[in-house]
Amino acid sequence: MKKILTLMAAGCFSTAAWAQKPPLLPEKDVAALANELSGETAKRNLEVIATFHRQRGSQGFHAAAELVAERARAYGLSDVAILQFPADGKIFYGTQRSRPAWDAERGELTEYPDISSPLCQGWQKTVEEAHKEGKVGVLIICLNVLANYQAEPIVLAEDSESADVTAQLLDVGEGTKESDYAGKEVKGKIVLVSAQPGTVQDLAVGKFGAAGIVSYAQNQKTAWSGEDENLIRWGHLETFSANKTFAFMVSLKTARGFKERLAKGEKITLHAVVKAGQHAGNYEVVTATIPGTDPKLKEEEIAFSCHLDHQRPGANDNASGCVTILEVARTLQKLISEGKLARPARTIRFIWPPEIEGTLALLNGPGYIENPPHERQPGEPPKALFPRAPFEKDLTKRIKAVVHMDMVGGGPETKAVFHVTRGPMSLPSFVHDVAWAFAEFVNEESYKFAATGEAKFPFVALEGGKEPLRAEYSAFTMGSDHDVYQDSSYGIPAIYLNDWPDRYIHTNFDTAANIDPTKLKRAAFIGAASGYFLAGMNVSGALGVTGVIAEQAGQMRMVENIRRMRALNDLDQSSSPINEHDVFVVQTSKCESQVRPSVKRIVPQVSELQDSWDINGDPEKRAHTAKAERRPAGDGLLKFKRRTEPKGPLAVFGYDYFAEHARAAGVATPKLLSYEGLWGAGEEYAYEVLNFADGKRNVQEIRDAVSAEYGPVPLEMVVEYLKALEKIGIVETVK
């Protein structure tokens, strides 16, 4: 324990040292980036992107993609293209079943009035008849328009189908259980539910015959949930459900009004008109590069990623990430062209895809390139599609690291906390420590400026706030494209910059007005500095990382580990054959021992990498090893190895690879998928169990690794899940 406390103290002093001078890059390079990066330019681009309703394969997404590509060309980037990947519901890109494109033209939800009202006698007349009789005003007063897609497209749930329905509204509570419908006449009614439409459509529409859905599903749970009754959340129907229907999203205020009236016995009649639907289309992925200069290393790439799709406005999620990497691209290209920054050895690539599914399409291809608009004559239609450039087939081998941005612009109104999120324990890497070095530098400089009014690098936009950044260095969490890159199919370490919590995520209040240009500038600097350093990293830079950053950031991880060990000490382990505290120490130490050697992924020429975290050379940790590592028995001896195909995580977007294939194979749902651990839940356990299935670790070792990451889990659950994966062809037993 004394040794741990010493590390804690050292970590406190070492992080402050970064504020004295910039880490890793020469001060002139940091100054060039800080002076050129513009939060205002990023926000101007965001304000335009936020006007598009950017659903996958839609006209709105295409318009946003064209805008990004046009900006990239104007900024002087190379190889600008909009890659297209057919999406028809049948083609698979690794574990992602392609989802057909979805477009909507119209969506209106109207409440018909109580015909007993004297004012509204004769309201059923058509508009033409009302005009003739001079009763248009009465018609307007008596019809209450609840939702209009043209005015606010978030009100129409994604994957809604065309309909023209007049029906009574029926409250079925949450709507996810058969008991919610017991004793109610559902057929032909529009059901009011508190759950997401996609989770109720098979029951409500498929089994009980509802005509449609109105949902008031609330946002992700935060301290501010439910405070603003006017928020409307983005809603989804299930893309591949056989029970096609429509769904409208309404505010909590509207829903409560409905519920009160229905509880009193009042009849509420709604008229829904929808013109929308799925169709064969394309995933579109915008990409551009800044070519490297080294004859050999320019074939390697450092990538910047985001996701361009989302509902309108979708300002923080994720127009903010898209415009921030666009600003990084503009800044690096300009500074390199002007000679203020040296051209890096490796190529830097920028990628704007639909979230997760577009990234899987990109990494699994093949795709196509449409001839860009600037190559067409006026009025000339797009030409046929052309195969992608051959080198892009090996993109997963070319990309050495990724800087992924998903929500990086939240201002004070969004209550956002900014995170530099590490990778999973299955893929230890120094690249996260590089990002944290620059984030901590911004933390210190921005705090100094906020507290004193003076700092050499305040990282403040003229139109933005002056608050300190206070970024957090956080353990791995899932939920964006970084999951794909860091899946064992690809093993590409990804820096994940993200805001959480965010009180307006996935709602109509996620607007450009809530985005802070200062925050955009700071996120852009952390990303630009990290990516530029990695793109130019040589033996000297690698030695600087291994000698300073990995150790200092590792000490910060140790502080977090101490908190987790305390939680483990509080567990009742009287019936456990193994001490989970000791398991945790051994597994986290093993993970740390692999951080420095990970430098060789980018700079293989680095020779000896002495590692102060080597458990074999530390008597104290050897003692823990003796207690925690036992000879496995029974199923704990089994070894599984992931097959080479299909590639990608099993938790993808709008499609459940495991569930569909498990049903076909007659496999029951493994208990692991619903397990709740100390620091993680089923989906996270499953992601890492599959990542650790490398044919070398036995099941006991996999169980111990995921237990250290997310909290103790029974060995039997891990065995059950791996055997289920074997039955659906994802893993195979190693004899």
pLDDT value for 367: 52
pLDDT value for 632: 80
Chain center to CA of 70? 25
The DSSP-derived string for 221-277 is --TTTTT-TT--B--B--TT-SS---EEE--HHHHHHHHHHHHTT---EEEEEEEEE
Count other C-beta atoms under 10 Å from residue 123's C-beta.
18
Residues 6+ apart with CB under 8 A from 139: 123, 125, 127, 130
Residues 6+ apart with CB under 8 A from 663: none
Mean pLDDT over residues 458-465, rounded?
A: 96
Nearest to 288 by CA among 441, 87, 70, 127: 70
| Contact of 358 with 309, CB cutoff 8 Å | yes
> Interhelix angle for 59-74 vs 39-49, to 10°?
150
- Name the residue with tokens 């892009």: 392
Q: What are phi and psi of 430, to 5 degrees?
A: -75, -15
User: Which residues in 611-705 belong to E strands, given as ranges?
Assistant: 639-642, 694-698
Q: Record the tokens describing residue 645, joined without a space.
A: 């195909």
| Contact of 229 with 251, CB cutoff 8 Å | yes
On average, the pLDDT of the chain sits at 88
Q: How many CA atoms lie within 13 A of 701 on its CB side?
A: 17
User: Which residues in 51-129 belong to E strands, given as ranges?
Assistant: 78-87, 92-93, 96-97, 101-112
Q: How confident is the model at residue 372 (pLDDT cuts 50, 70, 90)?
A: very low
Distance CA 302, CA 614 (A): 29
- How, if at all, do strands 301-305 and 347-352 pair? parallel
- Tell me how far CA of residue 209 lies from CA of 4, 159, 184, 418, 583, in angstroms: 62, 19, 12, 45, 52
pLDDT at 613 over 60: no
pLDDT value for 666: 95
Q: What are phi and psi of 316, to 5 degrees?
A: -80, -35
Q: How confident is the model at residue 371 (pLDDT cuts 50, 70, 90)?
A: very low
What would the pLDDT profile of 175-213 be if each residue is shown by its tens digit? 999 999 999 999 999 999 999 999 999 999 999 999 999
Mean pLDDT over residues 514-536, rounded?
A: 98
Residue predicted with more confidence, 8 or 132: 132
Planar angle of CA 719, 723, 725, nearest 5 degrees: 120
- Name the residue with tokens 């067409």: 376
Count other C-beta atoms under 10 Å from residue 83's C-beta.
26
Specify the DSSP element, H or E, that contains 334.
helix 321-337
Distance CA 51, CA 452 (A): 39
- Identify residue 677 by its one-letter amino acid code: G
Residues in the chain: 735
Distance CA 173, CA 685 (A): 31
Chain center to CA of 580? 31
Count other C-beta atoms under 10 Å from residue 542's C-beta.
20
| Contact of 245 with 160, CB cutoff 8 Å | yes
pLDDT value for 366: 65
SS3 7: helix
pLDDT at 222 over 50: yes
Burial tier of 701 (Cβ tally within 10 Å: 0-12, 13-18, 19+): middle
pLDDT value for 440: 95
Mean pLDDT over residues 47-72, rounded?
A: 98
- Tell me how far CA of residue 434 lies from CA of 546, 552, 595, in angstroms: 10, 11, 12
Burial tier of 227 (Cβ tally within 10 Å: 0-12, 13-18, 19+): exposed
Sign of torsion, CA 614 616 620 626? positive
pLDDT value for 656: 94
pLDDT value for 12: 37
* pTM exceeds 0.85: yes
- Name the residue with tokens 């509080």: 570
What would the pLDDT profile of 248-305 be if each residue is shown by its tens digit? 999 999 999 999 999 999 999 999 999 999 999 999 999 999 999 999 999 999 999 9
| Contact of 699 with 672, CB cutoff 8 Å | no
- Tell me how far CA of residue 19 lies from CA of 147, 444, 635, in angstroms: 51, 5, 51
pLDDT value for 554: 79
Rg (CA), the chain: 27
> Interhelix angle for 580-592 vs 619-628, to 10°?
130
pLDDT value for 142: 60
pLDDT at 383 over 70: no
Distance CA 467, CA 395 (A): 39
pLDDT value for 115: 52
What would the pLDDT profile of 644-657 be if each residue is shown by its tens digit? 999 999 989 999 99
What would the pLDDT profile of 158-181 be if each residue is shown by its tens digit? 999 999 999 999 999 999 999 999
Mean pLDDT over residues 388-402, rounded?
A: 74
pLDDT at 370 over 80: no
Helices (H), 338-423: 357-364, 395-398
pLDDT value for 493: 98
Report the percentage of the chain scoring pLDDT > 90: 76
The DSSP-derived string for 532-591 is HHHHH--HHHHHHIIIIIHHHHHHHHHHHHHHHHHHHHTS--TT-SS-HHHHHHHHHHHH
Which long-range CB contacts under 8 A does 567-570 form with residues at least 24 apart?
A: 567/678, 568/678, 568/712
DSSP 8-state assignment for residue 673: G
Q: Does domain 101-279 have CATH number 3.50.30.30?
A: yes
Distance CA 677, CA 675 (A): 6
β partners of residue 494: 402
| Contact of 45 with 71, CB cutoff 8 Å | yes
pLDDT value for 219: 79
- Identify residue 678 by its one-letter amino acid code: L
Q: How many CA atoms lie within 13 A of 423 on its CB side?
A: 32
The DSSP-derived string for 495-527 is EEEEE---TTTTBTT--GGGB-HHHHHHHHHHH
Nearest to 428 by CA among 581, 560, 613, 563: 613
Distance CA 205, CA 188 (A): 9
Q: Does domain 19-81+281-353+396-537 have CATH number 3.40.50.170?
A: no
Residues 6+ apart with CB under 8 A from 261: 268
Domain residue extents for the chain: 19-81+281-353+396-537, 101-279
| Contact of 354 with 283, CB cutoff 8 Å | yes
pLDDT value for 715: 96
